[in-house]
Copies of this chain bind each other. A is one copy, B any other.
Amino acid sequence: MREKAKLEDVAKLAGVSPTTVSRVLNNRGAISNKTRQKVNAAIQELNYHPNEIARSLFISKTNLIGLIFPTTAHPFYGEMVFHIEKILSEKNYKVLICNTMNQAQKENSYLNMLLANQVDGMIVGAHNIGIEFYQKANLPIVAIDRKVSETITVVSSDNYSGGRLATEEILNQGRTKIIHINSVRQEEAPSSYLRRQGYEDVMKEHGFPYKTYELELPFDTKGKKQILSDILNRHPDLEGMFVSDDLTAALALSMIRKQDKDIFVVGYDGTEAVTTCLPELTTIVQPIKAMAQLAVDLLLKEINSGFKDIQKNYILPVTVRRGEK
């Protein structure tokens, strides 16, 4: 295995100094055409690739962005990560991906790893360690759907309206016996709380009883099914369910079909993947692409402004996607 060529090798082969090669590479300063050609020829011949690591070390900038999310295996995050990476790569940034699987310990060690690797910034959509860990990082960070904070910018979609819309969608079907299934409330994640609030407010306004299940949903399908089954049994006359995650909603839907019940299910997220698989599911659509775009824009602004206080909360609107008949 031939050793990798370095800048010095190129310089020697081209008969110039390392400085000159560097100038050609970075298009800086004035270079004669003849020199440029010699250098380029040498680069070609040696199949030379500049060492970004060395470059990063010198300029104290890596163009590396860390992404911390629960798991790309979930379509919501898979699509979110896709959009973020796509937008960042167009601006010449590279993306380090971290799947925390909702484990605080992993999130913490990923955070330290990213700091050690000198990322220029981070986009965080995981919710398990205190915001103070991130504040200590002293780095441009944008959070997605996280707790409001004095120093970290948050991008989210309108979870409260989402909860309201979902509930109204069911009520519009003439159904009033409606429960809500949510993930367990996490201190740092207001989204589930807001969705719940939206649901409960609407029910209260109409004077209907409401019931929210905050579940610590297990990762495996079997466990989820068991829990859902118990809930269905407990509500034999149920007419509607607002389930704050499409995948769990899908599970509920298929159980309902099997039991030949008539329960109207509304889900949450509205990813491409789930919409393709389950076009009949009514769901609240989060603007994933727009959230990704905004998060990136804000992050790059922080990075380029020297991390000054443009911290704020941004809330993007959600929409209803009515299931196809």
Please report which residues of chain A, range 161-219, place their CB below 8 angstroms from some CB of chain B when the two chains form the complex.
none
Q: Known: A86-B99, A250-B276, A274-B273. Contact between A94 and B72, CB under 8 A?
A: no
Which residues from B are CB-within-8-Å of A2? 138
Quickly give the copy total for this chain: 2
Q: Do residues A95 and B94 form an inter-chain contact, with CB atoms below 8 A?
A: no
**Residue from A79, A110, A324 whose CB has the most chain B CB atoms within 10 Å:** A79
Chain B positions within 8 Å of A16 at CB level = none
A56 contacts across to B, CB distance below 8 A: 53
Asked if A317 is at the interface of the complex by the 8 Å CB criterion, the answer is: no
Q: How large is the interface on A (under 10, 10 to 19, 20 to 34, 35 or more residues)?
A: 35 or more
Q: In the assembly, what is the distance between CA of A79 and CA of B81, in Å? A: 12
Q: Please name all residues of chain B whose beta carbon is closer than 8 Å to the beta carbon of A86 when the two chains form the complex.
A: 99, 101
Chain A 261-281, CB-CB to B under 8 Å as 1, else 0, gives 000000000001111111110
Cβ-based interface call for A307 (8 A): yes
B96, B112, B247: which contacts A277 (Cβ < 8 A)? B247
**In-complex Cβ contact of A57 among B57, B278, B279 (8 A):** B57
Q: Are B85 and A99 in contact (CB under 8 A)?
A: yes
Residue numbers in B under 8 Å from A47 (CB-CB): 136
| Residue pair B273, A273 in contact (C-beta under 8 Å) | yes
User: Can you give 10 contacting A-B residue pairs, CB < 8 Å?
Assistant: A1-B306, A53-B117, A72-B82, A73-B75, A73-B82, A86-B99, A96-B97, A97-B97, A258-B324, A274-B277
Tell me the A residues contacting B by CB distance below 8 Å: 1-2, 47, 49-54, 56-57, 62, 67, 71-75, 77-79, 81-83, 85-86, 89, 94-99, 101, 106, 110, 112-113, 115-118, 136, 138, 221, 246-247, 250-251, 254, 258, 272-280, 306-307, 324
Known: A52-B117, A75-B78. 4 other contacts (CB 8 A): A1-B138, A54-B57, A89-B106, A94-B113
